[in-house]
Each structure stands twice: as C-alpha cells, then as structure tokens.
Amino acid sequence: MKQPKRATIYDIAKKLNLNPSSVSRALNNSSTISITTRELILKTAEELNYKANSMASNLRKGHNRTIGVVVPRINQNFFANVIAGIEEVTYQKGYNLIICQSNESAAREIKCINTLVNQDVSCIIISVSADFEADDHLRNIKEQGISLIQFDRVADELDTFKVTNDNESTSLAAVEHLIAEGYQRIAFLEGPQNLNIFRQRKAGYLKALRKNGMPVIPELIVENAWTKELGAVATKNLLELPNPPDAIFASTSDFAALGVLAVANEMNISVPGQLGICGYSNESFTEITTPTLTTIDQHSTLMGKTIAQLYFQELDVTTRVGKHKVVNIQPELIIRKSTLRTGSL
C-alpha cells in the first residue's frame, strides 16, 4: 500500500514539451487542438498510465456528475430495485451513483447527507429513515444548491420533487379485495405513523371499511409490527382475542406477513380458509410460500427510472418543468392464494 505517484497532465506536458492546457484539451476532445498532437498526447497518456483526477476537474468545473442516494437499507428488495432503476438511467447519462444507507436512523441519515453535500453531488435522492422527525437536513440540501428528490417515504410538507406510490388507493383495493372474499374482521398491522407511507396505508384501510359499512375495531389495529418477529407476536395476540380476526393485512411489509403465516401454521389455522393474509412489497419470497402470499407490487424499478428521468428532465432547460413535480405511481395488488377462499384463481 505504497504511493507510486500518479501521472498528471503536467507529466504528460513535460514529456512532450507542451503546455498542460493543450494536454487538457486533447483529453477532452476539444476542437482547438490539432489531430496529430492529440494523438500524441493520447498515446503518451496511455504510456504513463494516466488517470484523470476528477476531484481536481470537478473542483475547477464547479459541478459533479454524481448523484447521491440515501436509503434506509439496500438489502430490501424494494430499495435495491429502485436503485437498480435509477442506475439504469444515470449510467447511460454518464453519471455516477453514491449509495448510502441510513440504517433507519435519522442521525446516520444526517451524516450521509453531510458527506454527499461535502462531495458536492449534483442531486440527492432520498427515502427517509424510520425515525425521521425534523426535516432541517433536507431543507439544507436545497439551500446548498443541490437538487433534491424524495421518493416513497417523503416529508410531505417539504416542497421538492417527489416520486411516490399511491399507497392509499392500493391499500383500499387490498382491503376491498379481502372484503370481497368474504372476510369480515380484518386486522391491520400498521407501521410508524411518522412516515407518510404508513399513514396513507392506514387511511386506505379505514376508508375501505367505511365505504363498505364495516366498523373500525381498535383492538384489530396493531402498531409498529413491521418485522417478521413483530408480525408474529402481533398475530399471536390477535388470534388469542375472544373475537379474533379472520384476515390480517400486514401493511408494513411482506416480512411481517411472513410472521403472520408462520404463526398461523404453528397454530394449525388454515390459510386462506380460516385466515386471510395480505402483505406489502412483493418480495420475491411471496411467490414461494405455502400458500403463496397476496401482496402489493410497488413497481420499484419503474420508480427508480422515473426518479432519474425526472432529474435529467429538470437539468435540461428545454424539458424543464420548473416547479416541483410530484409523480405518483400506482402500485399493483397481486392476488395470490393466501387471500383466495372463493377459489377463483
């Protein structure tokens, strides 16, 4: 791990008795350089194993073809896919991505953002952490002249570009599907209500009940059940109620739904016969559980692509919209066996 100093444009210039500016122009395909010298410079650069220093270049040029992405965790299918979608577009445009994980911690999120701001990225794309409270750090991004695009979990009150899911209507659709299948007492596993997405999903649930003249039963609504383990505990408690639910909508995640399923299996409760189960996110495992899980696909890769396109659209003066646009993507209810007791599949 020693440092055999890297070649710079000065080294190339010196070797060829040229001015560094000419080298720079040659390397940047400037038109004001003769073909012969350009070739010569390129060849020499190759020989000296020259690699550009983008820090110097960016510093001088005052901009940076780099976009920062901050997500709670990259090992969740949803986020990994959004990132894949973003990358698909940015890669083609020659932009680079810096991916950071907040690990669901606001403190960490702030650190990530600081790093990205210090790096002077051109844009920060973020889905906020679970314990998100204040949005000062997000405001600050804009004050630094850096574009900000929020997705999925967004701070509503903050005026930025946003790409979100229509959580409410999809949640409503899911619950109405359960009702259509004849489920009467539908329990709801809810996520942290400081996050917009979970508020919306709950709103959809409540709306569906109201719309169908069904009562809201407080004891069937369980807070913060968004891991497999928490989902399992919640389910145990629910099923031990004097009047247990006949369906559980794990609006937090498929992992929670998995916990529900595990407990049902353990207690010998048949799914979907005695208990309907619906998850959220369309994680890959939902296709292979027994029974397969009804869930909601968020079109994550499309979301990613949309986000990146939005950025480039605003970057380009000819396509710019100007005011902060909000794109709402319609998720899709994926009906599988865990909620089908009419056997219509």
> By the 8 A CB rule, do 170 and 197 touch?
no
Which two tokens mark 253?
């995640």
Shortest reach from residue 203's CB to its own copies, in Å: 30
DSSP string over 276-318: EEE-SS--GGGGTSSSPPBEEE--HHHHHHHHHHHHHHHHSTT
DSSP string over 241-256: SSS--SEEEE-S-HHH
Site string for its own copies, 214-243 (x = CB under 8 A): ------------------------------
Position 107 contacts its own copies (CB under 8 A) = no
Shortest reach from residue 80's CB to its own copies, in Å: 3
Separation between Cα atoms, residue 161 and residue 178, nearest integer Å: 34
Site string for DNA, 285-304 (x = CB under 7 A): --------------------
Shortest reach from residue 82's CB to its own copies, in Å: 10
Site string for its own copies, 276-295 (x = CB under 8 A): --------xx--xxx-----
Contact of residue 83 among its own copies, DNA, none (CB under 5-8 Å per partner type): its own copies
C-alpha to C-alpha distances, 209 to 37, 131, 172, 215, 216, nearest whole angstrom = 75, 29, 9, 7, 7
Shortest reach from residue 122's CB to DNA, in Å: 15
> By the 8 A CB rule, do 68 and 116 touch?
yes
Position 134 contacts its own copies (CB under 8 A) = no
Long-range interactions of 130-137: CB distance < 8 A, separation 24+? 130/72, 130/104, 130/192, 130/195, 131/104, 131/105, 131/106, 131/192, 131/194, 132/106, 132/194, 132/195, 133/106, 133/194, 134/106, 137/109, 137/110, 137/113
Position 143 contacts its own copies (CB under 8 A) = yes
Position 87 contacts its own copies (CB under 8 A) = yes
Site string for DNA, 25-64 (x = CB under 7 A): x-xx--xxxxxxx------------x-xx--xx-xxxx--
Contact of residue 323 among its own copies, DNA, none (CB under 5-8 Å per partner type): none
Candidates 1, 2, 3, 17; binder of DNA (CB under 7 A) is 17
What is the C-alpha R_g of the chain? 26
C-alpha to C-alpha distances, 155 to 68, 148, 166, 303, 335, nearest whole angstrom = 18, 12, 15, 17, 30
Separation between Cα atoms, residue 23 and residue 179, nearest integer Å: 71
Contact of residue 197 among its own copies, DNA, none (CB under 5-8 Å per partner type): none
Shortest reach from residue 240's CB to its own copies, in Å: 23
β-strand partners of 345: none
Q: How many residues bind its own copies (CB under 8 A)?
A: 54
Position 20 contacts DNA (CB under 7 A) = yes
Query: Where on the chain is the footprint of its own copies (CB under 8 A)?
Result: 1-6, 49, 51-56, 58-59, 64, 73-75, 77, 80-81, 83-84, 87, 91, 96-101, 108, 114-115, 117-120, 140, 143-145, 147, 258, 261-262, 284-285, 288-290, 314-315
Query: Where on the chain is the footprint of DNA (CB under 7 A)?
Result: 5-6, 8-10, 17-22, 24-25, 27-28, 31-37, 50, 52-53, 56-57, 59-62
